[in-house]
Chains A and B, each alone.
Chain A
Amino acid sequence: MNRFIDGLQIEKWDGKEVRTFTEKLSSNDPLLALGFYELEEWGVWSRTDSPILVLPFFVSGLIELRMTTMGYGLNIDREITVSIGDASTKIMLSPNLRETSVILDITSSSRKVEFGNILALTIDDINDPRTMGIGISQLSIRRLSQEKKNWDGAPLFVDLANDKEDQLQFGGFNKREDWGIWSQTPECYIFLPYSVHGACEIQIFAQTFGRNKGREICLTLGNSQVRFIAEEEPKQYVFRFNTSEPSNLLIINGLAPESTSTDPRTLGIGIHRLQMTLPADAEPVAIHQTTTPQMMMQPKTKKKSARDTYTLKKRNEVYSALFSEESESYEWRDVVSAFVWNFRDDTDAVLIIKNSSASAASFFSELMFLFYRIGEIKCRIIAIHSLDPQFDNDAIISATQVYVHTDTSIAPEKVLREVQDQNKVSIVSTSDHGKYSGIATILITPNRRPKKIRGSLFGIEKELEYVLDWNQLVEALRTAHGLLGKKSK
């Protein structure tokens, strides 16, 4: 048989384009299928226990194989091996056609896609004498390039909700969706656009599905590895890597893919965004070069913060809130959503929100996801990030008509005095109403709850924390809006 295959014509494939082959009756480009029956309208059934699909070209290196397959009888939920050359992996067959993605690292080039561990069987109850195992309707193949430029430390931000974004390649994932991408296999891969050597911080905004919630998941970059407990709700995770082996391959494993009764895809981790930055305290990035000895290079000088000017109109009703949140309570999100709940369709309403938390990327990344969850709005939100907690505060307060104070980590007295002196409305969330009754216009009471243990799904501390009551804030914003109306009259 090998001699027969060797005698077949060979096409050239440079691996840059994805090649897709359809194994259906109507197909113009079916692969040579050895050990299979005739093509049918939906695809083709295997006949033997070791069927082979022959590609029109040889492949080697790291490739992704996407196959739409199904199993017959006892082959359903059975681990079937898929091999090309010396590389092999396993897939599980389902009773209906389902797309599966596998990654193969092939060192000895080959053009045969070989299937193994198949039970070629007939089923007594079914009036079909054929011995069938695996059914295939489509196969596509692409090369995953590992030849990447070295990363010089410049920040990378990839928002997968942006369909024009193509900096990352994925292996073992389902198709991209309008919000991001779901992993498909227990081990999956993200190919970064640069090869990393040394320290880097990778943040992903991600969620998990089904039994992956609370599961320990492992991320590997080069020879650096981190573990984390993934949660069901989308959340920003920050990982610090330090790899002495340059690599652009981020491996995620430990997933337990699961499907639902309405969605036949297997889902593990859903990734919305990924960002890569040089940690503030990190050593300079080591640039790995193959032609010369390793050399050290300084990272790109960090760009100075942009200085933008925002113009507000006289008719605008301006609300503002200052934060320096490091906690997991994310109260600024509640302030944004409560504002939108009240003023979604009000083109004159403006919220200025300033955060001086450690990571601007996290703040804006979370904010973008919140905007996605909220949907279309006509009111305006201006988000500012500055590591300097005093940056532009005077200008913000001066432009403000309603100041919202909810972040207990910021001492409110000074700001509130200014707000009061300028005869503006203030909303303060505090457990100590007595302290602010003279200087705050509207007081709301935060709720107590046990502090959550970081990184734990259900764990709580003995200590309690105060958290903003979203419902009270909605009411307070409405009251403030009413007060502004009265003032203007």
Chain B
Amino acid sequence: MTNYQLYAFHNEGNIRSELGKADYSYWFVLKYFQALIPKFGEVEVLVDPPVRPEIIDLDSEMLFCFMPPHKIPKTAINYAIPVFAWEFDTIPDEVWLDDERNNWYDVLRRSPGAATHCEFVAETIKKKMGDDYPIAVLTAPLWGQFSHLVNEPRHNNWELDIEGFTADSWNPPAPKETIEKTRTKIEFSGVTYTFVFNPNDGRKQWPEAISAFIAAHRDNPNATLILKLIQSNPVLGIQVVWETIEHLLPFSCRIVAIQSHLETRDFEQLMLGTTFALNSSSGEGQCLPLLEFMSAGVPSVAPQHTAMADYINAENSIIVENTRSWSSWSHDPRMLLRCFRFPIIWDSLRLAFEKSYDIAVNDPTKYAEMSVAATERMKNYCSEELILEKLQTFIEEVRLRAKQFPL
């Protein structure tokens, strides 16, 4: 029986304090795969950096590292299979900071194969590595975890139990330094958009999202935007977001920023209360929150680029147009122009807020169709059965290639 080893920088012991820091979401992806792997063999989650065995036999032992290729421990190069998120149209193929691992082409060439989370990146890698390179699109298999919510009743009035930091434009904290950790119940009603993001993530274009929401619904108290923040420094995160909102007051629509860990039932309540999941990012490697909300039957307002091109379509979402600009790989300190990013167009987002609101209020049939289309797309994109099948095929490809070209 094969022993499958899984390794990420974060682990069960430290993940709560690492939320919002670099690469924290890799731990969640690892957890999803930890649940799948027992279908194929034994699974072992490593805490210490892995070391390449003297004799590599992928039939008996296989290592998946949930991290970008340049972070694979040096001791595991030539052996580890990187599982990583990426959102650019090229991969790094140069060395910098004297670290050869920054040349992803080289790391991948020496790996038995690699897995990423979307077709856009798989195609990018194939363009560089060749069609015969084993690359799998392994999305986090989470449809089954949230699809049951499709059948649960949704109410116009609902509430959320929060133990953490909140800032509500209908009940503004002043000054921002007075935002304190509290246990509170917040009531919501009307058409609600939810955007889950890390305020420090430069890709998310969240100030544009806030501004476009206000421009679309300035005088409409029936429209609410929930900003669910994921930040390692909760006080800093909520303060910076509130400062941006406060500068745009007054407006009648409602914006609520929440920085809190939500227990499973509360997170499900957030999904049940949300009318549209929101994303205004210039690039996504996967976007777990969209996958989660859409699996639960929540249509989205989002662009159709990078990973989102795999699952955002006109049937399940209001598509936000984007442009492209010449940019740098996100971790390249030299900031050389080597790839594209795909910023959203603000006016298109504003119109998407208007259009989606109109559907939610005036066309319940269309909304219901979008909801069904969202969960159906996710079933065919990130259900456990599908990912198991893809993983099985990938493992076979990897073993075959390792026999043809020994590591």
Interface residues of chain A, those whose CB is within 8 Å of chain B, are 179, 207, 209, 213-214, 232-234, 260-263, 270, 334, 337, 341, 372-375, 447-450, 453, 457-462, 464, 469-472
Contact = CB atoms under 8 A, between A and B. Distances in A.
B244 A448 contact: no
Contacts of A457: 240
Best-surrounded residue of A207, A214, A232, A460 (most CB of chain B within 10 A): A460
Contacts of A470: 323-326
Contact of B325 (A261, A448, A450, A471): A471
A461 B333 contact: no
Interface of B: 9, 22, 70-71, 97, 99, 101-102, 199-200, 202, 206-208, 210-211, 240-241, 243-244, 247-248, 323-326, 328, 333-337, 345-347
- In order of increasing CB-CB distance, the 5 nearest A-B pairs are A450-B211, A449-B346, A460-B207, A471-B323, A470-B325
B337 A337 contact: yes
B326 A460 contact: no
B200 A213 contact: yes
22 contacts: A179-B334, A209-B333, A214-B240, A232-B202, A262-B70, A262-B101, A270-B333, A334-B325, A374-B337, A448-B347, A449-B346, A450-B207, A457-B240, A458-B207, A458-B241, A459-B244, A460-B244, A460-B247, A460-B248, A461-B247, A464-B346, A471-B324
A337 B326 contact: yes
Contacts of B240: 214, 457-458
B347 A447 contact: yes
Given A263-B97, A447-B345, A471-B323, 12 more contacts: A262-B101, A334-B325, A373-B336, A374-B337, A447-B323, A449-B346, A450-B346, A457-B240, A458-B207, A460-B248, A461-B247, A470-B324
A161 to B, nearest CB: 10
A334 to B, nearest CB: 8
A450 B345 CA distance: 11
B247 A459 contact: yes
B335 A373 contact: yes
A439 B19 CA distance: 55
A466 to B, nearest CB: 10
Contacts of B346: 447-450, 464
A234 B70 contact: no
A56 B210 CA distance: 64
B328 A373 contact: yes
A311 to B, nearest CB: 29
Nearest to B322: A471
A466 B347 CA distance: 11
Contacts of A448: 346-347
A256 B101 CA distance: 27
Contacts of A234: 335
Contacts of A447: 323, 345-347
A458 B337 contact: no
Nearest to A263: B97
A334 B337 CA distance: 12
Contacts of B199: 458
A214 B233 CA distance: 13
A454 to B, nearest CB: 13
Best-surrounded residue of A213, A270, A470, A472 (most CB of chain B within 10 A): A470
B99 A262 contact: yes
A262 B49 CA distance: 13
A453 B247 CA distance: 10
A261 to B, nearest CB: 6
Best-surrounded residue of A233, A341, A447, A461 (most CB of chain B within 10 A): A447
Contact of A469 (B206, B207, B323, B328): B323
Nearest to A472: B323
B46 to A, nearest CB: 15
Contacts of B207: 450, 458-460
A462 B347 contact: no
B316 to A, nearest CB: 26
B200 to A, nearest CB: 7
Nearest to A210: B22
Nearest to B99: A262
